[in-house]
Structure 1
Amino acid sequence: MVASRPWRSVRARTTLGATLVVAIALLIGAVSFYGILSSSIHDSTERAAEQRLDELAGRLDGPGGRGVDSLEDEIVQIIGRDGTVRAASEDARDDLGSASLPVADHPRTLSIDGHAHLVVSDDLDNDETLVLAVPVDDDAETLSTVAVLLAVAVPLLLLLVAITTWLVVGRALRPVTRIRQEVDGISAERLHRRVEVPASADEIAALASTMNRMLDRLDSSATAQRRFVSDASHELRSPLATIRQHAELAQAHPATTSIGELAEVVSEEGLRLQGIVESLLLLARLDEGGGAHQEPVDLDDLALGEVRRLRARGVDVDGSGIRAARVEGDPRLLGQLARNLADNAVRHAAGRVAISVIPEGSWVFVTVEDDGSGVPDDERDRIFERFVRLDEARSRDAGGSGLGLAIVQGIAAASGGTASVDVSRWGGARFVVTLPLAS
């Protein structure tokens, strides 16, 4: 129950925010509507009063305003220049007596017998003024009714919006809550589990797919880590077991075991242990970001150094494809990259090895190829994984620890490049490392 509170909080905040926005919009709309309606009703009443005043003015035909006295249900007066009432309708006499209505250039509102009236006036040809008072109680009643309706409708609409938003947000967050619960139940021992992706094809489905991709990466990482630990343990246990067996043999049969033979085995296996440990430490550094010292490095010098080293060992190496190229990187790591590629080629070559450095555009391609049996298509990605050795290289004598090419790929990635393998010109393996040229 505690874990679901954040979602209820989001639901409440979303509902409150939506309701406030709608409330502000409705209030602005209601006030604007009321103002426009009031102005429209007032203008309409004023126009009707002026039209009626024009009709009455047209019916008068001479001094004294003959015809005004006979008007019923209207308050009409004819006022002289001196301000006295010359003639008045029956309602005007009953409500006003001898008092005159105000004469003004613009319509004005006043109270007559406790009721609001709109007063308009018009000059006649005989220096008299015709004044008409029109009741506006109906206008006020209409506006009052509209105000009451708005006062009732706006809260009801806000309540409807709040309920609708609460239900819609709750329905939208329900899949998120389900995803959270499913992910919360996934532990290190259950990384094979995945989140159910809804068929809605919306942001929630995208979230579920993203969570599944993250779980795939975590599962792959955990699997690789377990395999790495297992392989590392095996590789480290093998030389230790060899040293122990020879030591136990020398201890059990000291007369038949020479000290020189034992020392040679211990030295050889110790060097192998040292190489494995150093490779593991290097890979750990690369995994943590490398921490490599960056400086200009001439790749052609590194490649030529490997060519000389291999030729000194009697290997047929073609270095004619080496051209001048400079990159930014750690010279020690890039030297390790070239050394690992060269040693791998010599280990698998039948007799020929070629090393080339070819700059092209903003990149440089370091290529090492051999005339060995090559790498099968389905193994070309896996060969760069740690402790991976192809079947022909499983023996201690033919193959290394299975970390050399993983180090090559790690150094290439740390230097902003890539490593790949395909078929050489002789049908063997061709390893290509692509690195950015120094600017």
Structure 2
Amino acid sequence: MRGRTTLGATVVVAVALLIGAFSFYGVLSASIHGARERAAEQRLEELVQRFEGPGRPGPELLDDDIVQLIGRDGTVRRASEEAQELLGSGSLPVHDDPRSFVIDGERMVVVSDDLDDGESLVLAVPMEDDAETLATVATLLAVAVPALLVLVAATTWLVTGRALRPVSRIRTEVDGITAERLDRRVPVPDTGDEIASLATTMNGMLDRLDAAATAQRRFVSDASHELRSPLATIRQHAELAQSHPEVTSIRELADVVSEEGLRLQGIVESLLLLARLDEGVAGAAEPVDLDDISLTEVRRLRAAGLDVDGSGIGAARVSGDPRLLAQLVRNLADNAARHARGRLAIGVTTVQQHVFLTVEDDGSGVPAAERERIFERFVRLDEARSRDAGGSGLGLAIARSIATAAHGTVTVDDSRWGGARFVVTLPSAD
């Protein structure tokens, strides 16, 4: 990984440096040639002003310039000493714009201008200094670019090695984390950078996975225990009926099997419902009158001989699956009925964009430290009484899962009589 990172960075830098070097050389070459052409044109203007008019001096009086005076017929009328030595009887090319030519093996800029009498003054300026400058620049670039590439590669190798060292430690630790070792955590470097944030995020993920695995193991263990209890009861009565038929009648055995079978059925159905809710299968959402569902529960509890106050139920509509919402209200109502000493109350109110369902009783209440734990699966605060009353410890877990699927919440606090008050908050559909 480190080698690939270094190679990739080096290739990118190499391409950038080569493009930059060629671009710089091209711009510098064009700038130098342009400056040489402008200098040649300026020198030609000075010579034209000097040689125009009667009695003008001849180019042969110039020592350092390569100058020719070309007649209308294209022949060389007069030339400087440098031009005669370089060209002999030959003439410089005449063009309106500056041009570069190789003359006697040397590149020169040739400029010309017309005089008043129709003759042309032609000046050639050697570009030897320009070529030496460009050659020097090319040499420097040829040395500097590879040296800079080596420096960049070495720096990248060291920097990436230092930066990826925590990643290697994290990868090594993650390789050793299995389903049986979810308690392990990756080391968090003290750099405070993105890698430290990555390690912190991974540890958070591992915390959630560990908690989920622990909850799953506890759930499987509790579910096995809950399912084993009615099965053991049925088996014990069946064995007793086999061994001592005079003690246990067929009717008693049938009653036990029927009762425990219903209990098994309830547990299995609750587990299946929780599984569907965990998978996000919450049924089709439609407008539901929560007040109608609540009034149905009030009538059911009153028919069972309980004192239920339903005066706090007002019109309210929510969005969700009617069957699941009915299950939610029934679970809370049954829970209150099991723990109430004699009085219950169910209320439904709408405040702005939310609907509040309250179910309260006059029982012993829920201790503050246990108000979150009671929504976990198979949790009972009073094991013996809840089991005798037929509770499986799944009702409140199902209620919270249904509320969550409907984008709501379930909380518990103290009722007006000192018992427990469950408050369900759901978005209003009106």
TM-score, structure 2 as length reference: 0.88
Match in the other structure for 1:44: 35
Q: CA deviation at 1:213?
A: 1.4
Match in the other structure for 1:437: 428
Which one is further off, 118-127 or 296-305?
118-127
Q: CA deviation at 1:303?
A: 1.0
Aligned pairs (5 A) from 1:115-134: 115-124=106-115, 128-134=119-125
Structure 1 residues 229 and 108: alpha-carbon distance in aligned structure 2, compared to 1, 3 A threshold: closer
The one-letter amino acid of 1:411's match is: I
Distance 1:69 1:265 in 2: 137
Deviations 1:349-397 (A, max 9, x none): 1221001122333332221111112111111111000110113765533
Matched, 1:327 2:339: no
Match in the other structure for 2:309: 318
Q: CA deviation at 1:36?
A: 2.1
| Matched residue SS, 1:106 | coil
Distance 2:345 2:391 in 1: 21
| Matched residue SS, 1:194 | coil
For the Cα contact (< 8 Å) 2:282–2:402, is it kept in 1? no
The one-letter amino acid of 1:121's match is: S
Equivalent position to 1:348, from 336, 339, 343: 339
Q: CA deviation at 1:277?
A: 2.5
The one-letter amino acid of 2:133's match is: T
Deviations 1:116-175 (A, max 9, x none): 232333455666544332221221232233234334433443444444444444443332
Structure 1 residues 188 and 103: alpha-carbon distance in aligned structure 2, compared to 1, 3 A threshold: closer
Q: CA deviation at 1:225?
A: 1.5
| Matched residue SS, 1:421 | strand
Which one is further off, 287-296 or 305-314?
287-296
Distance 1:45 1:395 in 2: 103
Q: CA deviation at 1:76?
A: 2.7
Match in the other structure for 1:288: 279
Matched, 1:423 2:414: yes
Equivalent position to 1:109, from 87, 91, 100: 100
Deviations 1:161-211 (A, max 9, x none): 444444444443332232222112111211111111111222212221221
Q: Give the gaps of 5 or more residues in structure 2.
A: none
For the Cα contact (< 8 Å) 1:198–1:205, is it kept in 2? yes
Matched, 1:180 2:164: no
Match in the other structure for 2:62: 71
Distance 1:50 1:247 in 2: 122
For the Cα contact (< 8 Å) 1:104–1:120, is it kept in 2? yes
Q: CA deviation at 1:308?
A: 0.8
Q: CA deviation at 1:23?
A: 3.8
Match in the other structure for 1:30: 21
Match in the other structure for 1:4: none
| Matched residue SS, 2:359 | strand
Match in the other structure for 2:376: 385
Structure 1 residues 98 and 64: alpha-carbon distance in aligned structure 2, compared to 1, 3 A threshold: farther
Deviations 1:306-348 (A, max 9, x none): 1111111221111011122233333332222221111111111
Distance 1:388 1:49 in 2: 99
Match in the other structure for 2:187: 196
Match in the other structure for 1:305: 296
Distance 1:395 1:224 in 2: 21
Aligned pairs (5 A) from 1:173-322: 173-257=164-248, 260-290=251-281, 292-322=283-313
Q: CA deviation at 1:58?
A: 5.4
Structure 1 residues 399 and 74: alpha-carbon distance in aligned structure 2, compared to 1, 3 A threshold: same
| Matched residue SS, 2:350 | strand
Distance 1:262 1:87 in 2: 140
Aligned pairs (5 A) from 1:366-377: 366-377=357-368
Which one is further off, 261-270 or 316-325?
261-270
Equivalent position to 1:412, from 395, 403, 408: 403
| Matched residue SS, 1:188 | coil
Deviations 1:410-429 (A, max 9, x none): 22223332211112122211
Structure 1 residues 421 and 58: alpha-carbon distance in aligned structure 2, compared to 1, 3 A threshold: same
Distance 1:413 1:31 in 2: 64
| Matched residue SS, 1:354 | strand
* Number of residue pairs aligned between Structure 1 and Structure 2: 430
Match in the other structure for 2:148: 157
Q: CA deviation at 1:254?
A: 4.6
Q: CA deviation at 1:66?
A: 3.4
Equivalent position to 1:336, from 319, 323, 327: 327
TM-score, structure 1 as length reference: 0.86
Q: CA deviation at 1:19?
A: 4.0
Q: Give the gaps of 5 or more residues in structure 1.
A: 1-6
Structure 1 residues 147 and 265: alpha-carbon distance in aligned structure 2, compared to 1, 3 A threshold: same
